[in-house]
Structure formats: structure tokens, C-alpha cells
Amino acid sequence: MDGIAWAASAMSAAQTRLEIAAQNLANGSADGFRRSLARGSLHAEGVRVDVVRDDTQGALRRTGRALDRAIVGEGSFLLRGADGRTARARSGAFTRDRFGALRDDLGRTLVGTSLSRGSYVRSGFLESSNVDAVGEMVNVLEAERSFEAAQKVLSAIDQTAQRANSKMSEFK
């Protein structure tokens, strides 16, 4: 396949890796957040990065607030927004409004929980994000280096083609 297209696909893959790492790092303090993993693979058209959500449990942390809830195991809180739509979330920092309903910080009302077998809810705890900051820093650096490397390959191919072109013109 075309070397230039291949190097370009490697550069855009590195860019996607950086986006994933930056998104994970940014949400390190977002409770219930689940990190995304970059899954790279080689194809005829070049390098492709797929985004896969990592659903491993985040660490539970005691907050002392009775209305904080964390799910242990698989499952989610069912929240109804002002638009009537029901959404699922893992973050459980609720407040009780004066009508007695539990609301999250986006103003959505807790209407139930959907739990897998063996899962349960703990009050007074929140589930921290499952982001590993050190690992994400490594991902950031790796993305940067592989971007750089692909750019070097691209420049090398470009220079070779240039040289070939000028040689060709000598024979004219």
C-alpha cells in the first residue's frame, strides 16, 4: 500500500490515542466515570484505533454523606431528566429536594436502579473513576512519540520521492 497514506493513518491513530488519554485524565475526578481504552489494529488501509470502554469497578470512597450512593458490581442508576428521558449513570452523588425526591447534580431525578445479580448499592460511598493517572500519562507520551515517528516516516518517504523526481529530470 501507499507509504504516505500508511504514515498518515498512523498519525491520525496517534491523535485518537491522545484524545482518549486526555479524556480519561480530564475525568479522573468524575465519580462513576469509566475510562476508555485504545485498541489499535493493523488493516489493509493502515492503522486503526478503536475505543473500548473499560468497565472495571472504580474504587469506593467513604464520603460521610448519607445521600451518596455507590454501586458495587454491574448496574446503573436510572435517572429521569427534565425532558422526560431516562438515562443511566454510575455516579451517585444525590441530594434530596424539598419534595423528598433524590436528584443528581444535573437535576435528574432518581427513579430506580438496575442491578445485575450479586450487585448492591452502598450508601455513604461514591465510586471514584477507574482512571489510572500514571498509565494515562504514559499513554500521552506514547501517543506523542508515535505521532512524531509517523511524521518522520512521512517526511522520509516524501524526501525519497522528491530525490527520485529530481533524478528523473536529470535524464531528460
Q: Which residues bind other proteins (CB under 8 A)?
A: 11, 14-15, 18-19, 21-23, 25-31, 33, 63-65, 67, 91, 93, 95-98, 100, 104-106, 133, 136-137, 140-141, 143-144, 147-148, 151, 154-155, 158-159
Shortest separation between residue 148's beta carbon and other proteins, angstroms:
6
Q: Which is nearer to other proteins, 44 or 149 (CB)?
A: 149
Q: Which is nearer to other proteins, 78 or 93 (CB)?
A: 93
CA distance linking residue 12 with residue 145, whole number of Å: 13
Q: Which is nearer to other proteins, 67 or 72 (CB)?
A: 67
SS3 category, 95: strand
Closest CA relative to residue 106, chosen from 75, 131, 85, 130: 85
Shortest separation between residue 133's beta carbon and other proteins, angstroms:
5
Shortest separation between residue 171's beta carbon and other proteins, angstroms:
26
User: What is the amino acid identity at position 71?
Assistant: I
Q: Which is nearer to other proteins, 18 or 71 (CB)?
A: 18
Shortest separation between residue 66's beta carbon and other proteins, angstroms:
9
> Residues 81-103, buried b or exposed e (16+ Cβ, 10 A)?
eeeeeeeebbbbbbeeeeeeebb
Handedness of CA 93, 54, 141, 42 (dihedral sign): negative
List alpha helices for the chain, DSSP H.
3-26, 133-170
Give 60-86 as a DSSP string.
EEE---TTBEEEESSEEEEEE-TTS-E
Shortest separation between residue 172's beta carbon and other proteins, angstroms:
26
Q: Which is nearer to other proteins, 25 or 115 (CB)?
A: 25
